[in-house]
Amino acid sequence: MLACIEKLIAEHDWGVILSVRAVEPPGEKLQVKALTKLLLGRPAVGETWYFEGEYLQSPRYGRQLVAQSGYRKTPTGKLICRYLAEHAPGVGLERATRLWNKWSVHLAHHDF
């Protein structure tokens, strides 16, 4: 499941409980429970992660995913390029795409 992290409900040395919104398929909101040793990194709010695991139905918390693995999805830059093209004077989609292709996730750290 590809999901955007909306909230860190609990974060411990042994693992995390996250509130996420599914990206594929879009819209479903649920909780993900994962042990730290099964994740490649520490999740943060706003990041997109891919999780695999077993779905459970909790009477108290609703549908949950108990993750067996999880990793951060590398951004494609599509949304950033569109934002730059629509909001930065003199930057169209073509220039924004060239900037993303050159600097990728480090784009925000450069003065142009």
- Which sequence spans correspond to the domains of the chain? 2-72, 78-109
> Residue 17 has which token pair?
């409980």
> Could you tell me the fold of the domain covering 2-72?
OB fold (Dihydrolipoamide Acetyltransferase, E2P) (2.40.50)
Residue 111 has pLDDT above 70, yes or no: no
Long-range contacts: 10-19, Cβ < 8 Å, 24+? 11/42, 12/36, 16/42, 16/43, 18/43
Residue 21's pLDDT is what? 94
Q: What is the pLDDT of residues 42-95, one digit of tens each?
A: 999 988 999 999 999 999 988 899 999 999 987 778 888 888 899 999 999 999
